[in-house]
């Protein structure tokens, strides 16, 4: 018998070329043995040579797409030193490994597509360094038979590459070429297949002002020439999307013609996740691309199909979700034919199925934040903070809007992709499907389920049907806990001051919360302060019509005469009576509605918003690049003095960008001052910023400036909005099952 070593590698180590990397290392360090994939990750058994050097190199030189969570080694014995080192067949079992997100086309594959080899111009070229992963995966372990590529038998050439450990396509599960892989075709109205090169036909249609539906990685996009105002108008009318910004896809060489990317923007754009990044525009494109916005949502082509299409069109394209406004994007060919009929002039299709619907991720680079966590970022996991080692398996169901679920298992939290608004029937179906899909894929068996405390949320109602103990979590506590968990705040780390600003959340006192200063941790919070409440006259209508919020804030500031003049065409007497009687006018501390009121005062979406957050987004854009010379003063957390100052500025003709900047700075300081006091008096050990309002880069920057010198926790990898709620719910539920530990 000879001594050897068994090494278990856990993390994102399948589908990233990890086994051939191990094979090459083993040859370099003179080892014999084997490496294989299984449901826990990668397993290595080796003997001979320099085992210590080999083990150190596993972490130090791991492939770029891999993420090692743990590397565990133990001694083992062999009858004799194996003569060779082999890559052996995968094994099944309980799923514990991480799955690799989809990755943008790598430079080597891109060179092949543009070159003269057998994959020249092939729209489905990939290798272990790039290509589809999660969007084609049906089960673990990650092998071709478990993907939507299972039906494509490899040709001899692809088989040779797949079987050669020295080739970058060794065990690249989606490997394909024109002889054996997926094919592309163009269909015109009525399902008529167009004769000719589908990419050339698609490019001609786009250049001529047409609208093209394109099947991508996680669903369909609707594409059109971003510089054609008439086509943009037609697309907006067809999608019933009058003002919400469109995303753009363009070649890197074309970026500076339409936007001014910073070094941080470029780094995000070039990331293998290839997200949509919000970049300052130049004004070169029609206003209809992103009405009222200074920043454009741009992404680089991330599949060979996109690269080929952009090269053929040679101009920036709108690349927006292939759906009707509010509904999930189409993923299947038949679904796209039915849903997009009348929206698109033609459909660019292929025959590789999409296993799960994934939107494009949306991100900012500075300050770094993920606004929508989706393709390229999921199903990446987050390690649970210190003290959560004994946490049970938890399923958390998130909120009503920007829905996402979270699974806790084995010291990791897996926050799902963006699922949408659960009021939409298709989004509800996607939500139910995601629970089953993630549960089966990761062999998840929850001991309890966590949800929002709002009794009217569909996810909350669903929690009671699962036959598990239910932990209801207050909305803003969940926001705070999500920020703590992302930042690795220990379970016994002590209390923090949480500034949680969003649209609405169900408060335990029966009012609608949304502008909160909390003090606490995973196990509980105290409401230390909040924005002075104002009635939401008309209930849900107040979220759609910003003028309603302006009315109540002006009245509260003693400016009823101003409201009478500014809103003379509105039914003010009836709304004031409803507010006094509390008739469909619940009291609310919502920061989101405060933003709406200020936007309405400046004439932004004063009547009605065409999409959620439009008024606040326009208000943020208005302040772009404008310093705040004199922040508006709040009386504690009462904005009445700020409204009096603001209305005076408006009547004095102060430029609206400066008014917006003064409001952002004033709101930031109003919350930062008492939060700082909690830290300085020893009641809190840090400040955490969460809630959808902190997607606003200007508000975030002003708040960080006002908290300079204080430890501040912010969201970077999980959304500050309701897309991160499930993470907070999950860790709160898990903390409740753990023994109490003293804070350090």
Strand pairing class (534-535; 524-530): unpaired
Q: What percent of the chain has pLDDT over 90?
A: 85
d(CA 419, CA 431): 6
Q: Which residues are within 8 A (CB) of 478 and not within 5 positions of it... i.e. 6 or more apart?
A: 452, 725, 726, 728, 729, 732
The first and second tokens of residue 739, run together, are 């023994």
Q: pLDDT tier at 98 (50, 70, 90 boundaries)? A: low
pLDDT, position 744? 28
Q: At how many degrees (to 10) do helices 475-486 and 725-736 cross?
A: 90
* Rounded mean pLDDT, 364-393: 94
Q: What is the reported pLDDT for 191?
A: 84
Collapsed DSSP state (helix, strand, coil) of residue 221: strand
With a cut of 90, say whether residue 665 has pLDDT above it.
yes
Among 165-179, 515-529, 646-660, the minimum mean pLDDT is found in 165-179
pLDDT band at 99; cut points 50, 70, 90:
confident
198-362 shares the fold of 2-87: no
Q: What is the pLDDT of residue 231?
A: 98
Q: 412 by DSSP, 3-state: which?
A: strand
| C-alpha closest to that of 558 among 667, 653, 642 | 642
- The whole-number pLDDT of residue 97 equals 57
pLDDT tens for 53-64 read 999 999 999 988
What's this model's pTM, rounded to 2 decimal places?
A: 0.93
Write out the CATH class of domain 2-87: alpha beta
In 67-138, where does DSSP find H-type helix?
107-114
Q: What is the mean pLDDT of residues 673-697?
A: 98
pLDDT (mean) for 50-74: 91
C-alpha closest to that of 148 among 383, 374, 331, 343: 331
The pLDDT of residue 432 is above 60? yes
pLDDT value of residue 141: 76
- What average pLDDT is seen over the chain? 94
Asked if residues 330 and 339 have their Cβ atoms less than 8 Å apart, the reply is yes
Residue 327 confidence (pLDDT): 74
Query: Does position 539 have pLDDT exceeding 90, yes or no?
Result: yes
What average pLDDT score do residues 209-221 get? 97
pLDDT value of residue 92 = 67
Which of the four pLDDT bands, split at 50, 70 and 90, describes residue 326?
low
Question: What is the domain partition of the chain in residue ranges?
Answer: 2-87, 99-182, 198-362, 530-713
Evaluate if residue 139 carries a pLDDT over 90. no
Q: Is the pLDDT of residue 708 over 60?
A: yes
Looking at residue 742, what is its pLDDT? 41
Q: How far apart are the first and last CA of the chain?
A: 49
- Cβ contacts of 148 within 8 Å, gap of 6 or more: 136, 138, 352, 353, 354, 355
Could you tell me what percent of the chain has a pLDDT over 70? 98
Rounded to whole angstroms, the Cα distance separating 727 from 719 reads 10
As assigned by CATH, the class of the 530-713 domain is alpha beta
The CATH fold assigned to 198-362 is DHBP synthase (3.90.870)
**With 90 as the cut, is the pLDDT of residue 404 above it?**
yes
Per-residue pLDDT averaged across 3-23, rounded? 89
Tell me the C-alpha distance between 425 and 423, whole Å: 6
Confidence band for 37, pLDDT divided at 50, 70 and 90: confident
* pLDDT score for 741: 45
Residues sharing a CB contact under 8 Å with residue 648, sequence separation 6 or more, in sequence order: none
Confidence band, pLDDT 50/70/90 cuts, at residue 740: low
- Distance CA(655)–CA(652), nearest Å, equals 9
pLDDT band at 572 (very low <50, low <70, confident <90, very high): very high
CA distance 283 to 296: 10
What's the pLDDT at 63? 87
Radius of gyration of the chain (CA): 27
The answer, yes or no, to whether residue 96 has pLDDT greater than 60, is no
Asked if 703 contacts 710 with a C-beta cutoff of 8 angstroms, the reply is no
Measure the CA–CA gap between 410 and 412, rounded to whole angstroms: 6
Range with the poorest average pLDDT among 62-76, 251-265, 288-302, 608-622? 62-76
3-state helix, strand, coil in the chain (%, to 5): 35, 20, 45
Per the CB < 8 A criterion, the answer to whether 391 and 737 are in contact is yes
Query: pLDDT tens digits, residue range 103-119?
Result: 999 999 999 999 989 99
Among the residue ranges 45-59, 321-335, 473-487, the one predicted with the least confidence is 321-335
Catalytic residues: 19, 37
Checking if the pLDDT of 669 tops 70, the result is yes
Q: What is the reported pLDDT for 300?
A: 98
The two structure tokens encoding residue 566 = 């500014």
CB 725 within 8 A of CB 478: yes
Segment 286-297 mean pLDDT: 97
Residues 252 and 269 sit within 8 Å (Cβ to Cβ): yes
DSSP of 321-341, one letter per residue? ESSSTTSPPP-SHHHHHHHSB
Q: Is 99 helix (H, G, I), strand (E, B) or coil?
A: coil
pLDDT at 743 over 50: no
Q: Which fold has domain 99-182?
A: DHBP synthase (3.90.870)
Mean pLDDT is lowest, of 52-66, 146-160, 213-227, 539-553, for 52-66
Query: Strand, coil or helix: what is 98?
Result: coil
Q: Determine the Cα angle at 489 with ends 485 and 491, to 5°.
A: 90
Backbone angles phi, psi at 515, to 5 degrees: -135, 85
């Amino acid at each position: 018998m000879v001594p050897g070593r068994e090494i278990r590698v856990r993390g994102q180590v399948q589908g990233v070329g990890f086994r051939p990397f191990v094979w090459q290392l083993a040859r370099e360090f003179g080892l014999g043995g084997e490496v294989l994939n299984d449901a826990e990750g990668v397993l290595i058994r080796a003997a001979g040579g320099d085992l210590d050097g080999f083990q150190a190199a596993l972490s130090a030189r791991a492939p770029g797409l891999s993420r090692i969570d743990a590397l565990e080694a133990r001694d083992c014995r062999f009858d004799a030193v194996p003569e060779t080192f082999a890559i052996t067949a995968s094994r099944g079992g309980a799923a514990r490994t991480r799955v690799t997100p989809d990755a943008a086309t790598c430079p080597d594959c891109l060179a092949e597509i543009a070159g003269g080899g057998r994959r020249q111009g092939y729209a489905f070229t990939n290798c272990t360094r790039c290509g589809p992963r999660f969007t084609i995966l049906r089960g673990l372990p990650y092998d071709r038979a478990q993907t939507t590529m299972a039906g494509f038998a490899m040709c001899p050439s692809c088989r040779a590459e797949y079987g050669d450990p020295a080739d970058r396509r060794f065990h690249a599960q989606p490997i394909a070429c024109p002889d054996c892989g997926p094919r592309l075709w163009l269909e015109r109205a009525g399902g008529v297949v167009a004769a000719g090169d589908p990419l050339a036909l698609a490019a001609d249609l786009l250049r001529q002002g047409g609208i093209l539906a394109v099947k991508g990685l996680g669903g369909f996009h609707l594409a059109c020439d971003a510089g054609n105002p008439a086509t943009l108008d037609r697309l907006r009318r067809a999608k019933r999307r009058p003002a919400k910004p469109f995303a753009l896809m363009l070649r890197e060489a074309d970026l500076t013609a339409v936007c001014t990317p910073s070094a941080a923007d470029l780094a995000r754009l070039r990331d293998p996740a290839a997200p949509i990044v919000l970049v300052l525009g130049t004004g070169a494109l029609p206003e209809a691309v992103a009405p009222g916005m200074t920043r454009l949502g741009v992404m680089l082509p991330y599949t060979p199909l996109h690269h080929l299409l952009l090269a053929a069109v040679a101009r920036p394209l709108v690349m927006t979700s292939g759906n009707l406004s509010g509904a999930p994007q189409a993923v299947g060919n038949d679904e796209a034919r039915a849903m997009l009929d009348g929206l698109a002039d033609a459909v660019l299709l292929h025959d590789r199925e999409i296993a799960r619907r994934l939107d494009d991720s949306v991100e900012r680079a500075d300050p770094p934040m993920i606004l929508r966590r989706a393709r390229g970022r999921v199903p990446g996991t987050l390690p649970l903070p210190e003290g959560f080692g004994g946490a049970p398996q938890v399923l958390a169901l998130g909120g009503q809007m920007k829905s996402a679920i979270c699974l806790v298992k084995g010291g990791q939290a897996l926050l799902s992709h963006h699922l949408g608004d659960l009021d939409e029937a298709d989004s509800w179906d996607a939500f139910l499907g995601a629970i089953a899909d993630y549960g089966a894929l990761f062999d998840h068996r929850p001991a309890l389920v966590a949800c929002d405390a709002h009794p009217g949320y569909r996810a909350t109602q669903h929690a009671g049907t699962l036959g598990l103990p239910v932990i209801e979590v207050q909305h803003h506590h969940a926001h705070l806990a999500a920020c703590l968990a992302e930042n690795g705040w220990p379970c016994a780390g002590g209390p923090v001051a949480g500034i949680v600003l969003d649209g609405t959340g169900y408060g335990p006192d029966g009012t609608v919360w949304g502008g909160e200063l909390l003090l606490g941790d995973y196990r509980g919070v105290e409401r230390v302060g909040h924005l002075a409440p104002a009635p939401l006259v008309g209930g849900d209508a107040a979220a759609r019509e910003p003028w309603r919020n302006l009315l109540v804030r002006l009245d509260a500031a003693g400016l009823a005469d101003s409201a009478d003049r500014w809103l003379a065409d509105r039914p003010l007497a009836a709304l004031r009576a409803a507010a006094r009687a509390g008739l469909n006018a619940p009291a609310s501390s919502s920061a989101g509605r405060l933003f709406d009121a200020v936007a309405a005062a400046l004439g932004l979406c004063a009547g009605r918003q065409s999409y959620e957050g439009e008024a606040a987004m326009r208000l943020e854009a208005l302040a772009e690049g404008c310093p705040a010379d004199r922040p508006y003063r709040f009386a504690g957390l009462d904005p009445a003095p700020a409204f009096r100052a603001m209305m005076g500025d408006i009547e004095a003709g102060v430029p609206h960008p400066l008014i917006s900047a003064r409001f952002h700075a004033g709101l930031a300081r109003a919350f930062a001052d008492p939060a700082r006091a909690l830290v300085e008096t020893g009641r809190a050990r840090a400040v955490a910023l969460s809630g959808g309002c902190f997607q606003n880069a200007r508000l975030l920057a002003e708040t960080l400036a006002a908290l300079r010198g204080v430890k501040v926790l912010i969201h970077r990898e999980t959304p500050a909005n309701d897309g991160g709620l499930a993470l907070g719910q999950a860790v709160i539920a898990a903390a409740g099952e753990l023994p109490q530990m003293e804070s350090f």
